[in-house]
Chains A and B, each alone.
Chain A
């Protein structure tokens, strides 16, 4: 499909192609390798290694799954839908509603493997749920609708994105003691650096904004042509990898960076926009999905492209690696999913 890549370097082999008749809105692998896909028809589709795909109507017929996250238990996925429901669906296809927020689109979820906590937003309110699905903390003390949530690496603090910046809560004093991180504009996605030192957001003004948590010192990274939907981390050397440009943009948080240092640029010169990125959990490799259906892999040890494939002709809206880093799933707005196999150590 891609004529620019010599055959020798083709390391992505397609193992599974499935076409659904609804947009792909979220994807995650469960611990046993089952791929869970959320769709714009309110269903979760489970594709296991052996059995036939299972269709689960997790949300109301005619609604859409808006966000999907692997649950910290490893055996199920959490989904938010535009039917106002937060649902959990396990690999056997059993689904249950954990919470209902009538009249709201549930498009924001966060989970923490470290603490086992989950968080969900509805309008200006945020609710923290324990592993049994019970609400342990809630607050609506936010200046506008909550756009994203992120737990810190220990899962004890929660960062909330909204107009004018972000709010950071400690789970134990949730709703009482907030740290307010301020910056003008509408903040869309939020992430916490793996060392816990920095909170970063992407904004409607197509920028990245960061705050050092200890003293709220600002950092600002500009130059993106479109909104940034993916904020993903490479642990070592600590690097933030982002979508939103015609190449993968990476910001190294080493040697005094990222401010004042040029970013990493992977895949430059392509006339298409990176819509999603995903970092391999085992190797220094980042996958990128493009608005024309391309999927590409880049090595972060030598900043070179490993492979590029076309999976479809429409925008990649979800990218997920399996826990062992051997499989990569891409899903598009048109409802097509591709699973790529990376059979051996690439770099």
Chain B
């Protein structure tokens, strides 16, 4: 059988009132065809009567696979499995999650179900945030920080309601939590749908295509519990040491580490080793070959809670090949 391309799935998160409904309505009006499916939470705030919309149950369950943080959205497996039975191939699937939802189970669903994994792929996580109220949201809910932490793309919405200075502060705050996400500044979520659908942000080849913003301790004006740690190393790493370290790190700290992305120069390999993880579940592959004369740098970004930069830096350096 000829391999059919995977259907890209975009996950849309964001706090109540940030502008998700506006964005969904834009998607629905810009994409009239049944080649798109939009999955919304049936008890959620989105009241859209549209034939493209499918209602989902946001309830999660725990896999019996020994992974203690591995919760999965079973109803998504059902709904996507059903969408794949249609004669006409879907071009994209968009999943809306409610304001208080943790994006992790949605992402994990695409790692654990073999049938879904064979035919659909997580394309990117898009988070809509309200430029005016983000600071307050970060104070009063941990979900707001987690939704930013998980994002590949962030729509910094309602930029017309804040001053240029305030906008700069909000953006710095977002960057401290998530150093790698692409940020789009919007008013009323006004941007072409193509900017958020089928981006390939979860493609391992494109991991770290965006140069992470390197942070120093001084950047942290706010003590956000969730933040990014960027690590780099110019000496080649030992594959066994690195694998042992990463496996142990994700096993012991996987509940606190929300996302991990890395491109690594392994000793003895002519190509990049690339990987990413959502909590404890990770995916790895061989990436592009290093060009002759290219400076080989291993780069790692961890986004999570209570990360000790010095401890991580030391243990990462200990993976250098001898």
Contacts and interface: CB of A to CB of B under 8 A. Distances in A.
Interface of A: 21-23, 25, 39-41, 60, 62-64, 66, 82-83, 102-105, 107, 123-124, 143-145, 147, 163-164, 184-186, 203-205, 207, 226-227, 313-314
Contacts of A64: 82, 85-87
Contacts of A314: 1
Nearest to B75: A145
Sort A-B residue pairs by CB-CB distance and give the 10 closest, nearest first: A22-B87, A186-B74, A41-B87, A103-B55, A145-B57, A144-B59, A40-B87, A205-B64, A64-B86, A163-B61
A40 B34 CA distance: 13
Contacts of A107: 78, 82
Given A22-B87, A66-B85, A105 B64 contact: no
Nearest to A60: B51
A204 B83 CA distance: 18
Nearest to A108: B78
B53 A144 contact: no
B55 A123 contact: yes
A205 B65 contact: yes
Interface string B49-86: 10101111101011111000000101101110011011
Contacts of A205: 63-65
A314 B59 CA distance: 33
B193 to A, nearest CB: 20
Given A123-B55, A145-B75, A184 B62 contact: yes
A107 B49 CA distance: 21
Nearest to A225: B114
12 contacts: A23-B87, A39-B87, A60-B51, A62-B86, A107-B78, A123-B42, A123-B55, A144-B75, A145-B56, A185-B63, A204-B61, A204-B74
Contacts, number: 91
Contact of A164 (B51, B61, B85): B61
B219 to A, nearest CB: 42
A145 B34 contact: no
A184 B64 contact: yes
B283 interface: no
Interface in B73-119: 74-75, 77-79, 82-83, 85-88, 113-115
Contact of A143 (B34, B42, B59): B59
Interface in B33-58: 34, 42, 49, 51, 53-57
Contacts of A40: 85-87
A226 B114 contact: yes
Contacts of B74: 144-145, 147, 163, 186, 204
B88 to A, nearest CB: 7
B61 A21 contact: no
Contacts of B88: 62
Contacts of B56: 145
B65 A163 contact: no
Given A103-B42, A144-B74, A147-B78, A82 B83 contact: yes
Nearest to B112: A204
Nearest to A104: B55
Contact of B61 (A23, A41, A124, A144): A144
